[in-house]
Chain A
Amino acid sequence: MIEFISQPWPWYVAGPLIALTMFLLLYFGGNFGVSANLRTLCAATGAGASCDFFDFDWKKQIWNLVFALGAVIGGFISYHYLTIDHSVQLSQNTVDALTEIGFTNPGAEYLPPEIFGMDKLTSLSGLAILLIGGFLVGFGARYAGGCTSGHAISGLSDLQLPSLIAVVGFFIGGLAMTYFILPLIF
């Protein structure tokens, strides 16, 4: 059993378990949408005083912050107790494309040291990439009214056309970054 769990889980295990997560949150009286936490964090740190978008009863959203805290713990447990081999078996096309733009050893661990290495914390360009990328995710998620969980999973599950438009947007942005901008950065 532990041996099975220690392997990377295939999509047909992960997808249904994500749907189960959505169901559990609905059954618990919540909903599945992680980026709402970013707004709650703004509100909880007093952003409501300067901006009415953050002036809401954020205490009703504490359950979602607790869910996010659980996600942190889940990552910790997975890393320390449930995974033996931390490499990612990528398709050869992806490895070749990354090698071409100067990445070494693609897939040796979960994140590329070219973006997430500890040395990036003391480099201006390294910090800029992390900060700008995060900024786009936060700004875009709130502008679109949801992220992967809120739109791609919850919204599409409820057959919401706005969520489909948002997911199309995710892909337009993602393809532009992957094919045109990342090769310019690296």
Chain B
Amino acid sequence: MKYLKFLLAGIFFGIVLAKAEIISWYRIYEMFRFDAFHMYGVIGSAVVLGIITVQLIKRSKMKDMYGAPITFNPKDMSIPRYLFGGILFGLGWAMVGSCPGPMFILLGYGYLPILVVIAGAILGTYVYGLMRSKLPH
């Protein structure tokens, strides 16, 4: 039961991203070419509402459903980590047109080759773990 709500939230999330075509390789390509407003509208409106949501949570000191305070962990400041990591991520995002969420949703769509992408992403995560101490952070 504890996990059912997360399953339902995931189903909801999967349907939203699928129905808005965010999981389409073409939409990501189109976004990086600045040929359509769609993706900017999606991310922009999510962020604007997200900022309002986070501010309301912080100001009202809202608690989660278990009564624990909802906390936000400030990220450690660094430029190379976010810039280099971000650039590598962006290269992959534009290449296979899917970030981690859409990879899972596309699996549900029945596109079997996405399994290779997911395997690559897990491998990339593992190799990062191995190389972590040698990278600038």
| Chain B residues in 8 Å Cβ range of A76 | 108-110
Q: Which 3 A-B pairs have the closest CB atoms?
A: A169-B86, A70-B10, A74-B14
B70 nearest CB across to chain A (Å): 5
What's the Cα separation between A14 and B114 when bound, in Å?
23
A141 nearest CB across to chain B (Å): 5
Q: Given A90-B36, A129-B96, A149 and B101 touching (CB < 8 A)?
A: yes
Do most interface residues of chain A lie in helix, strand or loop, or is the interface mixed? Answer: helix
A114 nearest CB across to chain B (Å): 9
What's the Cα separation between A47 and B91 when bound, in Å?
26
What's the Cα separation between A16 and B49 when bound, in Å?
7
Most chain B CB neighbours (cut-off 10 Å) among A27, A30, A91, A169: A169
Binding site for B on A (CB under 8 A): 5, 8-19, 21-30, 34-35, 37-39, 41-42, 47, 50-51, 53-54, 62-64, 66-79, 82-83, 88, 90-91, 93-94, 97-98, 106-107, 110-112, 115-118, 120-121, 126-127, 129-145, 147-149, 151-163, 165-179, 181-182
A137 lies within 8 A of B93 (CB): yes
Q: Given A5-B19, A11-B20, A173-B93, A71 and B105 touching (CB < 8 A)?
A: yes
Q: Which of B20, B65, B91, B126 contacts A140 (CB 8 A)?
A: B91
| Chain B residues in 8 Å Cβ range of A13 | 20
Q: Which of B5, B43, B77, B105 contacts A15 (CB 8 A)?
A: B43
Q: Given A14-B42, A149-B101, A166-B86, A127 and B7 touching (CB < 8 A)?
A: no
What's the Cα separation between A70 and B91 when bound, in Å?
27
Q: Which of A15, A106, A110 contacts B44 (CB 8 A)?
A: A15
B15 lies within 8 A of A78 (CB): yes
B18 lies within 8 A of A79 (CB): yes
Q: Given A75-B108, A82-B19, A134-B116, A165 and B14 touching (CB < 8 A)?
A: no
Which chain B residues numbered 90 to 135 have a C-beta less than 8 Å away from chain A? 90-101, 103-114, 116-130, 132, 135
What are 12 pairs between A and B in contact, CB < 8 Å? A11-B37, A18-B13, A21-B9, A28-B5, A72-B104, A74-B14, A110-B109, A138-B128, A141-B89, A141-B99, A149-B100, A173-B92
